[in-house]
Every structure is written in C-alpha cells, then in structure tokens.
Amino acid sequence: MTKRTDETSEQSTTPQRREPLLWILCAAAALIFFQGYMIAPLIPRLAEVFQAPGQQIGLIVPAYMIAYGILTLIYGLLSDRLGRGRVIRASLLAFIILTALTATAQSASQMIAWRLLTGLGASGVVPMSLALVADLYPQNQRGRALGLLFAAMEGGMAFGSTVGAILEPFVGWRMLFIGTAVVTAGVFGLLLRFGSLPKASSSRSLPSFKSVFLGYRNLLGRIQLVEL
C-alpha cells in the first residue's frame, strides 16, 4: 500500500504541488542555517554561563560542522534507496528534538555533545532538499528553485549570526534553542500535511555501499597526494 502511494505521488508531482513543497524546504533550510550560525556569537556568553575557557566552549562550532559534513555522505546513500522525502523528514525531526535538548545542557561538555548530535541529525535536510528539487524540476526550471533554496540558506546565516546575539540578552540562550525547535516543528507539520514525497527515480542501478565508500577513500587519497 505504501509503495503504491509513493508511486502515485511521484507521478502526480505537478507544478502546483512542487511550489508549496519548495517553500517548505526553503523554510527548513533557513532554520537549519539559522541555528548553525547563531551559536558562534553566543560563545562568550556560554563560556560565562558554564564557567569554561573559551577554547573549550569554542569546540561547539567544529563539533557541529564536522558531524554535519560527515553524515551528509551517508544520507545521500540512504536517500537513493529510501527516498528523499523519508530522509528529509527523519533528519528534520532529529534536528527538532536535538535542538530542543540542547537547551538542557548543564555544562560545556554536554553542550558540545548535543551540538555534535545535532550536526549528525540535521545534515540530511539541506543536501537532500537540493537533490529532491533536482529530481522534481525540469532542467529549464531548476536554476530558479535551487536559487531560492540557496537564498534561504544565506538568509538563515545572516539572521542567525545577528538576530541570535541581539535576542539572547532578552530571552536567554536556552529560549533561542527552544524557539528554533518550536518554529521548525511548525515547518515539519506542514511537511507532514503535504503528504507523500516522491522518491528518486529507481530506473538506474545504484552502486553498493562498499563501492561508494571505496570511491570516497580513493578521493581522499588523491587529495592528500595533491597537498603533498
């Protein structure tokens, strides 16, 4: 029954369905980047709250970014097999839960751990949204759709690095994370109401996980040789 629903959804992805979905994905991307960039200006405040040296609390930034970058490689493989929509929804839900839980941190170590886990959870939303847009839009319309997604990311960066620092003295850093989680939960609700999201085309043969990881290893080896 589920397979039939997914197939029907894929075949009936009209421009009227694509546009609302695109705006929902843009909102999700903006919020992902908002919370990613609001954290750096908060480091002095968090160092004061947790009574931790700046070098230690500063690890919250690379903990998130490194985890985000690594898991992006895995989410791409999963989305080819499970469908973009399933991966986007699961990743967005993980982002909501972990962002809210970040507000419960009681020490610098807990904060770093929550940021690392949030990076692992959040990293499937934006890359898979880009892939889904490429799947759904014809080539002559794809540039506009991708441009909107990138604009949403840039907007999230700009607002995150400024609005977060401005609001923190008034609402506190914990409420910034809770508020981001609540707003994202609203976007998630819209995504659920949208219905089944189309799967990527299964007409092509997919490489095995082993062959993909061997490709990653060979690529990293070439990069190291170039640096040497």
The answer to whether residues 132 and 25 touch, using CB atoms and an 8 Å cutoff, is: yes
Q: What mean pLDDT is predicted for residues 35-54?
A: 91
Indicate whether 219 belongs to any domain.
yes
Q: What mean pLDDT is predicted for residues 17-39?
A: 92
Predicted local confidence at residue 187, as pLDDT: 96
> Angle between the 60-82 and 209-227 helix axes, to the nearest 10 degrees?
140
Asked whether residue 206 carries a pLDDT value surpassing 70, the answer given is no
Range of the domain at 197: 15-227
Predicted local confidence at residue 198, as pLDDT: 61
Asked whether residue 3 carries a pLDDT value surpassing 50, the answer given is no
Indicate whether 9 belongs to any domain.
no
Number of folded domains in the chain?
1
Predicted local confidence at residue 205, as pLDDT: 58
State percent of the chain over pLDDT 90. Answer: 53
Indicate whether 5 belongs to any domain.
no
The CATH number that applies at residue 85 is 1.20.1250.20
Indicate whether 203 belongs to any domain.
yes
Indicate whether 96 belongs to any domain.
yes
Tokens of 136: 């759904």
